[in-house]
Amino acid sequence: MAKKRPQTKASRPQPTGRGRTAGADEPVPVVGAREPCPCGSGRRYKACHGRTATHAVTELVQRPFEGLAGECDWVALRELVPAATVRLTLRDGLPEGVPSVTLATVLPMAWPALRRDDGSVLLGLQNDTSSGDLSRDLADTLTRALAAEPGNPVGAGRSSSSEGPRLQDLLDPAAPFEPEVHAGFEFWIPESAENSTPEVAASLERANAAAIPTVKLSGTDAAYWCETPEKNHLRWVMPHPEEKLLDALARLHAAGAGSLSEGTRLVGSFRAHGLVVPVWDLPSGMGAEECEKPAAGFAERLAEALAVDTPLTGEERRARGGLTNRQVTLS
């Protein structure tokens, strides 16, 4: 969690740039970085109260989904899966007039959230956010969506506060997180709707054309098969500490046990939101169902390798170096 840095307050009332006096507890408005600070200090905003706002915006929370049920799937839906939804359970229950809250990878025209005509809320996950704490930004969007008038999208916010709630504060930690992966984005349009606006229809067509076929493995946590024109892949978000996981993968690779099965190959990994995502190349004819048994077998081998705490051999260190060199950071 980002450190809380309360906004600096003047020790006594200060004249503002508008010719009035601001009390010590009155918030200082946000202005341009080079404009005079509204607190009346005589300094530019970026050198005065803007320092706190800038720090709150730029300080990066490495694992924004840590502590949420299904952290690995949150990462997968944020970075890897084109079309998926998850029903969310709020810690304090649903407000009156809100029948459901659903997380969606993407919404029409990249809306951050949508309050449907029936009062239900859709929260978009794959959107740019205004600060370094993705969890706090999503919680801010969700809060605004719950209060929005039905039938309206919720626009992007500009939150510079490090004091607001995070998803961990709003969601029930005991509720399951069960993604449903879709072939396309038809879930944007409710079954009760006879038609959609031309803008939504055009956005739906573009999104469906760009979506990579993806399937979540049923027997392995946070492992997603996907199909590309050249070959298929398995991308598997893992919860283990990065250094320990890389050591284990290196041990398996050096022992010739790093593949899932014949014809597959561990080609590298992504680093996303504080977690590591190993990636395997698969033969083009290997579908998601054919991945289930090999993935379960690899999970057993990985658990054994993670339990080993002896120093890496020379061959294992070289394997680890190769894996590290093929790692790409997504966030």
What is the DSSP track for 67-86?
Answer: TSTTHHHHHHHHHT-SSEEE
pLDDT digits (tens, 9 = 90+) for 234-244: 999 999 999 99
**Average pLDDT, integer, range 193-213:** 82
Percent of the chain with pLDDT over 90: 67
Q: State yes or no: pLDDT of 46 exceeds 90.
A: no
Q: State yes or no: pLDDT of 75 exceeds 70.
A: yes
Going by pLDDT thresholds of 50, 70 and 90, the confidence category of residue 16 is very low
The predicted structure's pLDDT at residue 153: 95
**Average pLDDT, integer, range 77-98:** 97
Can you tell me the distance from the alpha carbon of 65 to that of 103, in angstroms, rounded to the nearest whole number? 14
Going by pLDDT thresholds of 50, 70 and 90, the confidence category of residue 13 is very low
Q: Please name the residues in contact with 267: beta carbons below 8 A apart, sequence gap of 6 or more.
A: 279, 280, 281, 326
Backbone angles phi, psi at 128, to 5 degrees: -65, 145
Going by pLDDT thresholds of 50, 70 and 90, the confidence category of residue 20 is very low
Q: State yes or no: pLDDT of 197 exceeds 90.
A: no
User: Which residue blocks in 86-194 are alpha helix, DSSP H?
Assistant: 134-147, 167-170
**Average pLDDT, integer, range 96-116:** 96
Q: State yes or no: pLDDT of 15 exceeds 90.
A: no
Q: State yes or no: pLDDT of 30 exceeds 80.
A: no
> Is 159 within 8 Å of 136 (Cβ atoms)?
yes
Question: Which of 259, 275, 255, 257 lies closest to 267 in space, CA to CA?
Answer: 259
Q: Please name the residues in contact with 31: beta carbons below 8 A apart, sequence gap of 6 or more.
A: 37, 38, 45
The predicted structure's pLDDT at residue 24: 45
The predicted structure's pLDDT at residue 282: 96
User: Which residue blocks in the chain are alpha helix, DSSP H?
Assistant: 50-58, 71-79, 134-147, 167-170, 198-210, 242-254, 288-306, 314-325
> Is 62 within 8 Å of 79 (Cβ atoms)?
no
pLDDT digits (tens, 9 = 90+) for 276-315: 999 999 998 899 999 999 999 999 999 999 999 999 999 9
pTM of the model: 0.81
**Average pLDDT, integer, range 191-202:** 72
Q: State yes or no: pLDDT of 64 exceeds 80.
A: yes
pLDDT digits (tens, 9 = 90+) for 118-173: 999 999 999 988 789 999 999 999 999 999 999 999 998 755 556 789 999 999 99
Average pLDDT, the chain: 86
Q: State yes or no: pLDDT of 17 exceeds 50.
A: no
Listed range (77-81, 210-214, 241-245) with the worst mean pLDDT: 210-214
